Chain A
Amino acid sequence: MHVMYFTEQPMSAYPADLGLEAGHTALMFSNKHFDPVAGSRLYNEYLEQYIYAEEQGVEGFMLNEHHNAPFCMQAKCNIFASILAAVTKKAKIVLLGNPLPLAENPVRLAEELAMIDMISKGRLVSGFVRGGGQEQLANGVNPAYNRERFEEAHDLVVAAWSRQGPFRWEGTHYQHRVVNPWAVPLQKPYPRVWIPGVLSQETIIWAARQRYPYIALNTSIEATKKIWEVYDKVALETGYEAGPENRGYLQQVHVSDSEEKAEKNARQFLWMQGEFTGLAHPVWANPSGYFSPVLRRNFVEFAVGRAENPRGRPTFEQQVADGRVIFGTPKTVIPKMRHILEETRPSIYGIWGNDGTVSNEDARTCIRLLGQEVMPAMREIGKELGLKDPFELNSPVHLKYSTDLKQMPQAAE
């Protein structure tokens, strides 16, 4: 079982009351509220937390990326990926992920990731994402081409990594007269690719068709099980049987040395929800063409006051009751993790440990207890439940490297 640590790297020093007043905080909330002195302090605290976490036994770090967003300071996930490649020794560096449609030049992205893989001595997991609606606007890319660009950029990155250069690429969205990067990954055939997601069916289906593990981001247990159903069905149609090695789950889990402090800090997970899903401008989060017309309509109805927020804003208590936010001391958290692992059976688990204004000291306490107690316990439970991760199983990096495909019965012509 692969258990990894995650933080959004929140810009917790911005004036949250002004954000609430403005009514939206991602994309258009003025960066005059971004204080780089605080930013510098926070980046260095997060950096020290990663180093500390590895010392405490954490075996993987998940990184993400967002633009124009107070809730996440990782404007480019490859920056901290590079840093971790140099300052950590053993932990996997799990990017979830580079937003492919935002890349105007996937070959350059392939080069950067190859460098990171070599510098880290082969510890990169290079996940890819579509990028949310407002990320498209923040970067000036056409939202209607999102899925096409995602798929073509993926194909081009993989080609740049694994096809001998020089070659040409005459694509729909990307054209290159020469692809011949003098930086290719250390891992062969190429670094593992994990695909995170929340809502979209097509992403699950696409991931299953590639035989890439799918990482459910903070979805409810019920929703997560439905995701596996979809994935497993597509896997069978594609010719293989999916299992824990294809499944990942990210959840908000705060651990502290007392229940009271754990609860107090866990409430900070709502800071992000209040800002991100609740205070994303409904129209900018769903620019034309990005989602289906039906889904966009729901958001527009909400924007004009005719309906409830489709993303919902359950209270803290409701989320705790639903098992969406987990907190406690190691003693109370470990049994909860057992229950989740028994219910959802992922071999990859991301612990989103700290958010909002949790103090540096409390964040480090959480990291220490995770690294020394909770994560080792989870790995033991994983062993017991047979939750073998792709590394342990040496799973094929992509469907085309499978050696166990079953021919599906063909439909009669």
Chain B
Amino acid sequence: MHLMYFTEQPMSAYPSEIGLATGHTALMFSNKYFDPVAGSRLYNEYLEHYVMVDELGFDGIMLNEHHNAPFCMQAKANIFAAILAAVTKNVKIVMLGNPLPLAENPVRLAEELSMIDMISKGRLVSGFVRGGGQEQLATGVNPAFNRDRFEEAHDLIVAAWSRQGPFRWEGTHYQHRVVNPWAVPLQKPYPRVWIPGVISPETIVWAAQHGYPYIALNTPVERTRQIWQIYDDTAAEAGFRGGPDYHGLLKQIHVAETEEKAIENAAQFRWMQGEFTGLAHPVWSTPSGYGSPVNRRAFVEFASGRATNPRGRPSLEKQMEELMIIAGTPKQVIAKLRILLEETRPGILGLWGNDGSVTHEDAKTCIRLLGQEVLPAVREIAKELDLKSPFETNQPVSVDYLPGRPNSARDPVRAAAE
């Protein structure tokens, strides 16, 4: 099993009452409320947390990216990926992920990721995402081209990584007279790609068609099982068996010395939910063309006050009951995780440990208890349930590298020999 630590790196120092009063906080909530002195302090605290995570024996650190967003300070995932490449020794650097449609030049992105892979000595997992609706607006890219750009950028990056240069690329969204980066990944044929998602079935299908593990981001148990069904059915069509090493799950899990403290800090997971899903402006988070018309209508009806928020906002108690949020002492958390793992059987588990205004001290305690007590127990459970990670099964990087697949078009070694 691959056990990775995650934090949004929340900008917990902003005046959240003003955010609530404004009614939306991502995209247009003025950055006059962003205090860089607090920002500098927080970045350095998060860095300290990551170093602890590496020392405590976690398998990975998960990073993400958001723009114009108080709930997430990672305006560029590659910044901390580069830092982790240098300051950590053992953890995989799991990027979930670079928002491809926001990239105007995927070749430059391929270069950066190659540098990170080389500096980290081959520890990069380079996930890719579509980027939420407001990310498109924050970066000035056309939301209607989101999926096209995602797929073409992916193809161009993989080509830049694995096809011998120089070559041309005459695409629909990207055109390059010369692709010949003098930075290619250390890992061959290229770094693993994991695809995270929440709602969209097309993303699950696309991931399975490529043979890329899918990481369900904090989805409820039933929904998670449905996702695996879609994934595994598509995998069968694509010629391989789905299963735990293709299934990843991110979960909000806070551990403390006492149950009381754990629940108090777990309430902070709702800070993000209150801000992100509750206070995302419904029209900006689903700009025209981004999602299906049916999907968009639900948000517009909510914006006009005619319906409830499609994303929903269950209470903390309900979420704990449904194992959406897991909180407690190590013993309590291990017991709940056993149930979760039996129910959802992932080979990759993301532990989203801290959010909102959890103190630096409490965050470190959570990390310490996770590392020293929860992780060893979870590894035992995983062994018992036979939940192997992609590294343990040595699964091929993509369907093109399944045994017996003719992939000489993409295999750089064979292509060079021909």
Please list the residues of chain A having a beta carbon within 8 angstroms of any beta carbon in chain B. Answer: 11, 27-32, 34, 36-37, 39-40, 43-44, 47, 67-70, 73, 75-76, 78-80, 82-83, 85-87, 102, 104-105, 107-108, 111-112, 114-119, 121-122, 137-140, 164-166, 175-178, 180-186
Contact = CB atoms under 8 A, between A and B. Distances in A.
Given A31-B184, A68-B180, A178-B68, A107 B139 contact: yes
Contacts of B30: 164-166, 180
A177 B140 contact: yes
Given A39-B186, A43-B119, A183-B39, A119 B83 contact: yes
B40 A181 contact: no
A31 B181 contact: yes
B70 A112 contact: no
A118 B36 contact: yes
Interface string B265-289: 0000000000000000000000000
Contacts of A165: 30-32, 68
Given A36-B186, A165-B30, A180-B28, A105 B181 contact: no
Nearest to B185: A36
A292 B278 CA distance: 55
B178 A83 contact: no
Nearest to B111: A75
Interface in B64-97: 67-70, 73, 75-76, 78-80, 82-83, 85-87
Contacts of B70: 182
Given A40-B119, A76-B111, A180-B68, A83 B76 contact: no
A116 B416 CA distance: 40
B104 A104 contact: yes
B34 to A, nearest CB: 5
B68 A182 contact: yes
Contacts of A30: 164-166, 180
B112 A11 contact: no
Given A75-B112, A118-B40, A166-B28, A140 B79 contact: no
B186 A40 contact: yes
A69 B67 CA distance: 32
A164 B70 CA distance: 15
B63 interface: no
B107 interface: yes
11 contacts: A27-B178, A47-B119, A70-B182, A75-B181, A79-B116, A80-B82, A83-B119, A111-B75, A118-B39, A118-B40, A178-B28
B87 A87 contact: yes
Contacts, number: 209
A140 B118 contact: no
Contact of B76 (A39, A75, A108): A108
Interface in B287-325: none
Given A43-B118, A137-B178, A112 B76 contact: yes
A164 B178 CA distance: 39
B182 A76 contact: no
A104 B166 contact: no
A200 B27 CA distance: 40
A29 B178 CA distance: 11
From B79, B80, B121, name the one whose CB has the most chain A CB atoms within 10 angstroms: B79
A74 to B, nearest CB: 8
A83 B82 contact: yes
Interface of B: 11, 27-32, 34, 36-37, 39-40, 43-44, 47, 67-70, 73, 75-76, 78-80, 82-83, 85-87, 102, 104-105, 107-108, 111-112, 114-119, 121-122, 137-140, 164-166, 175-178, 180-186, 416
A116 B74 CA distance: 11
A31 B43 CA distance: 36
B111 A67 contact: yes
Given A79-B78, A107-B139, A111-B75, A182 B181 contact: no
A289 B383 CA distance: 63
Nearest to A48: B86
A36 B82 contact: no
Contacts of A83: 82-83, 85-86, 119
A184 B31 contact: yes
B188 to A, nearest CB: 8
Nearest to B187: A36
Contacts of A111: 67, 75-76
A168 B78 CA distance: 26
Contacts of A67: 111, 181-182
Contacts of A184: 31, 34, 36, 39
Contacts of B175: 140
Nearest to B284: A178
A172 B294 CA distance: 37
Given A31-B180, A116-B79, A119-B47, A181 B68 contact: yes
Contacts of A68: 165-166, 178, 180-182
